[in-house]
Structure 1
Amino acid sequence: MAAPTLKRVLLSPPKLIKPNSLSYFSSQSSTSADKPPIVSTVVSLLTHHRSKSRWNHLRSLLSSTNTLTPVHFSQIAFHLKSNPHLALRFFHFTLHNSFCSHNLYSYSTIIHILSRARLKSPAQSIIRAALTSPVLFDRSIAPVKFLEVLVKTYRECDSAPFVFDLLIKSCLELKKIDGSIEIVRMLRSRGINPQIKTCNSLICSVSRYRGSYAGYGLFREVFGSKDNETEEEVKRNVRARPNVHSFNELMMGFYRDGEMEMVEEAWNEMERFGCVPNGFSYSVLLATLCEEGKIKEAEKSWEEMRARGIKPDVAAYNTIIGGFCKIGDIEKSEEILREMELSGGESTCVTLEHLINGYCRVGDVDSAILVYKDMCRKDFRPEASTIDLLVGGLCEKKKVAEALEIMRIAMRNVSFHPSGKSYEFLINGLCEDGKMEEALKLQAKMAGKGFEPNPKIYGAFIEGYMKLGNEEMVAILIKEMSEAQKQQEEN
């Protein structure tokens, strides 16, 4: 729908021609007599001279005349539109040698020529350069002003509709969110819908930088979703149609912001639009349901996904394994893990961390340690929360020495940052065993990591010294703890 509409709206002759518009460029049928001398000379040099000599001749010519204006450049580039690579080289030549003070119109000309030839990457590169140029225009109005000039010059250059998508994408890459939104609104006011992929990128950026509800508001604006619209009305209305990726961006935004109910709302709306969910859609839904503790609904969605012939990816497997581990159903987690491995999938660091969490939840620390050793063999680096679980589980089983070894191995990785919980577990375990010197050394390391002793740490030391009958140290520690608490209250 977009391309025919674009031809009808944008390619119709403009009612008002501004003096610096491309409308007064030499047309394709112009004779050489109609061209300014500088234009004819440069076009001749570019098209008839050998590639090795043309640039030296041009450098000599333009250095002596110094009369190449943006209009001249646009006229020259227009006559080179059948050779877009040469037009691009000429553009860079004028930039690097400062032979032309380019403006928005000359930039638009080369962008259209490149777009017409479907050279999207260099066209977008020039758009980004223009948007970040303080010479061309005030940055606060850059995107909208750029769109206006691209529209005015579109017809003369016989450009391609996706040139406007390139502008929107460039704005998004430069985090010009407001400009991107305004461009989409201006295009839609002319009955033109940007490509779905562009709309999806915009929704993703708005959700990420402005929040998921802002992204949802834009989704409804772009795709025209109404609260009371039935499924039949949705299918019957002619407008931009969202696809599964549109809803994936929407759901991911809500999930990222912790708006779990809205993830399910977006899922239901996807069905209303007749979009078929893919593996990523199910992964987000599964993660949402598992996080909310709705494991039965998650299992139902898991079976539904497989019934539709959608092969789960590793992320989906990890999500459902994590969901069952979270409720302590380790047998079901192991069953799904075996299924994943039989289907050719390989366990990741996340997979094994979920299993460690599951084993620790049911008190099977020995199995958790076996999984941890498997992680080490695969050179996976566990999160601090995983080490907390292992250290806490071992200390609870009075296996403090093993817990210390786990901590030492983890600390060999310079990027590992232990939490205060692991130190608390270890110090408490050492104090219970009467190993006060080791506990003091560990507490010193804990302080070196920026963790101040808290009431639990003081309590562990006090209880340890009480068992040893060291009343003097007990009294000192009680006094120190009291002063520390008082100082915290004052602060």
Structure 2
Amino acid sequence: MSKAALKRILHRSQNPKPDSTHSISLFFTTVPSPPSDPLVTDAVSILTHHRSKSRWSTLRSLTPSGFTPSQFSDITLRLRNNPHLSLRFFLFTRRTSLCSHDVHSCSTLIHILSRSRLKSHARDLLRLALRLASSSSEEEEDRVSKVFRSLIKSYNRCGSAPFVFDLLVKSCLDSKEIDGAVMVMRKLKSRGINLQISTCNALISEVSRRRDASTGYQLYKEVFGLDEAEKVRPNVNTFNLMMVSFYREGETEMVERIWREMEEEVGCFPNVYSFSVLMETYCVRGMMVEAERVWEEMKLHDVVAYNTMIGGLCSNLEVTKAKKLFEEMGSKGVECTSLTYDHLVRGYCKVKDVDSGMVVYMEMKRKGFEAEGLTIEALVEGLCGGKKDRVVEAAEIVKEAVRESEFCPSRKCYELLIKRLCEEGKMDRALGIQAEMVGRGFKPNQETYKAFIDGYGRAGDEETSSLLAVEMAESLKLRAEEEEEC
């Protein structure tokens, strides 16, 4: 090696280049390394120089009494450049009970796996550390706080990266430790350290889902500190998840507010999903003029956007416009989904055009799509509420749906079929439907009895009609007594 090259190497070792992975070190105290332990040195030598077949048996013979958590940490620290070997060593000590691991021994390996971006393994270790913290009786602290403190303590020694705390937050969310995840975020923020945007979004989303949208929104303002010049800024996914949360809770005005905030955020632009959420909000409120304005503003119309607009138009009885959009999808090569057909079938049934609804339904079946339960029941209602002799057609649709897609009719659906079948004198078919209804746990009520009583009466079978009248009276009396006892 030339003298110039050697001089450059010595200069780099004495004046290391700043590394983003150590940007957090200013906030934590460096822990001095302990004196070298001969057992640690021997174990490292065996792990790095022995062949895989012999290293594990040699390790067991070296230390039949096993390793302390501190010794395990020292060994893995010296193996930090070989994270896969460190992980195999950990699994070996667990499998053979050669080490009674604690939060601190896990923390060392978590840092090593994190700095090597072995995310799934690091998260597995974090979940184990959280369990170990909860079973420990050393301190009266929250288990997330214990793991967090341990990671901080070992951070510099392991040459870790801030990314490890993103994994901790996500592991807390996996374990439903919402308060713990928020606590970690706040402690890091107090030190001027920001989580990654994906972690921030996951935290806000989980808080919105498990608490409510308003709590998630308050956390959003806290996380991004919108009154300050923060390093991390919200992105379109941040705003999308908040809009969806408020939409699900019926807070449609807040959806519009979030949209305005997104427009004001520098460098953040709505995507197709954002437009779809806003359109859906307007559709739910019956504000179709506004929904169509949003539709025109969109630069790209994908299947989600089409389905949203078609569903909104059908819900607001504008089926002709919905049909035009459906045809436009075909001309532009946008593939329909089952939801597209569901919207159209229900829309036609809503405007009492069950024939057109049946045409769309048959096309839907030809393409191999399964209709939703609400769509089947809309067809049944439409067929039973229109011309005579279509109740059998409705019953066949239900029969096929039950057989092919495990459709479970509601009580209302059963009762409508029975009533119309009885009105048309098809008593045997009505009895079959009633038997299926009882088999699904729906006991006949007064409406069901009256349909059969009237049906048998019209058919001239007064005897059966009278017997059912007596049975109905006894059944209703028994049910009233049972309710009174309850």
TM-score, scaled to structure 1:
0.86
Number of the residue aligned with 1:401? 392
CA shift for structure 1 position 470: 5.3
CA shift for structure 1 position 354: 0.7
Distance 1:133 1:464, change over 3 A: same
Cα deviation per residue 1:430-489 (whole Å; 9 max; x = unaligned)?
A: 222122343233223222222233444344334434534555655555565566556666
Letter in 2 for 1:25: S
Cα deviation per residue 1:44-86 (whole Å; 9 max; x = unaligned)?
A: 22223333332222221122xx262222222222222222222
Distance 1:164 1:214, change over 3 A: same
Q: Distance in 2 between matches of 1:302 and 1:238?
A: 34
Number of the residue aligned with 1:216? 217
Matched, 1:111 2:103: no
Matches within 5 A, 1:257-276: 257-274=249-266, 275-276=268-269
Matched, 1:383 2:372: yes
Number of the residue aligned with 2:10? none
3-state secondary structure, aligned to 2:408: coil
Letter in 2 for 1:279: V
Matches within 5 A, 1:27-426: 35-63=36-64, 66=65, 68-133=67-132, 137=136, 141-225=142-226, 237-238=229-230, 240-274=232-266, 275-305=268-298, 309=299, 311-395=300-384, 396-398=386-388, 399-413=390-404, 415-426=406-417
3-state secondary structure, aligned to 1:266: helix
Q: Distance in 2 between matches of 1:255 and 1:486?
A: 46
Distance 1:467 1:161, change over 3 A: same
Number of the residue aligned with 1:230? none
Number of the residue aligned with 2:13? none
Q: Is the 8 A contact 1:115 1:159 kept in 2?
A: yes
Distance 1:215 1:486, change over 3 A: farther
Q: Is the 8 A contact 1:10 1:151 kept in 2?
A: no
CA shift for structure 1 position 362: 2.4
Cα deviation per residue 1:271-291 (whole Å; 9 max; x = unaligned)?
A: 232431111212222222212
Letter in 1 for 2:426: K
Q: Distance in 1 between matches of 2:409 and 2:161?
A: 55
Q: Distance in 2 between matches of 1:415 and 1:423?
A: 15
Q: Distance in 2 between matches of 1:284 and 1:119?
A: 35
Cα deviation per residue 1:378-433 (whole Å; 9 max; x = unaligned)?
A: 33222222111111212222112211221221121362101122222222222221
Q: Paired residues, what number?
A: 460
Distance 1:51 1:321, change over 3 A: same
Cα RMSD (Å): 2.7
Q: Is the 8 A contact 2:40 2:71 kept in 1?
A: yes
Q: Distance in 1 between matches of 2:325 and 2:141?
A: 53
Q: Distance in 1 between matches of 2:296 and 2:392?
A: 44
Q: Distance in 2 between matches of 1:283 and 1:186?
A: 36
CA shift for structure 1 position 223: 2.1
Q: Is the 8 A contact 1:114 1:123 kept in 2?
A: yes
CA shift for structure 1 position 198: 0.3
Q: Which residue among 19, 25, 28 is the counterpart of 2:33?
A: 25
3-state secondary structure, aligned to 2:146: helix
Q: Which residue among 435, 441, 454 is the counterpart of 2:432?
A: 441
Q: Distance in 1 between matches of 2:219 and 2:286?
A: 30
Q: Distance in 1 between matches of 2:333 and 2:461?
A: 60
Q: Distance in 1 between matches of 2:473 and 2:69?
A: 78
Q: Is the 8 A contact 1:212 1:257 kept in 2?
A: yes
Q: Distance in 2 between matches of 1:12 and 1:209?
A: 32
Q: Is the 8 A contact 1:322 1:354 kept in 2?
A: yes
Cα deviation per residue 1:301-331 (whole Å; 9 max; x = unaligned)?
A: 11111xxx3x233222111111111122222
Q: Distance in 1 between matches of 2:78 and 2:317?
A: 72
Q: Is the 8 A contact 1:222 1:240 kept in 2?
A: no
| Structure 1 runs not aligned, ≥5 long | 18-22, 27-33, 226-233
3-state secondary structure, aligned to 1:206: helix
3-state secondary structure, aligned to 1:133: helix
Q: Is the 8 A contact 1:390 1:403 kept in 2?
A: yes
Letter in 1 for 2:244: M
Q: Distance in 2 between matches of 1:82 and 1:165?
A: 22
Q: Is the 8 A contact 1:5 1:192 kept in 2?
A: no
**Greater shift in the superposed pair: 199-208 or 253-262:** 253-262
**Greater shift in the superposed pair: 354-363 or 267-276:** 267-276
Q: Distance in 2 between matches of 1:255 and 1:140?
A: 38
CA shift for structure 1 position 154: 0.9
3-state secondary structure, aligned to 1:156: coil
Q: Distance in 1 between matches of 2:76 and 2:250?
A: 52
Q: Distance in 2 between matches of 1:245 and 1:69?
A: 45
TM-score, scaled to structure 2:
0.86
Letter in 2 for 1:72: Q
Letter in 1 for 2:126: I
CA shift for structure 1 position 9: 5.1
Distance 1:46 1:441, change over 3 A: closer
CA shift for structure 1 position 224: 2.9
Q: Distance in 2 between matches of 1:324 and 1:24?
A: 68
3-state secondary structure, aligned to 2:94: helix
Number of the residue aligned with 1:228? none
**Greater shift in the superposed pair: 198-207 or 281-290:** 281-290
Distance 1:207 1:486, change over 3 A: farther
Number of the residue aligned with 1:432? 423
Cα deviation per residue 1:189-230 (whole Å; 9 max; x = unaligned)?
A: 2121211110110111111112222222221221235xxxxx
Q: Distance in 1 between matches of 2:469 and 2:248?
A: 45
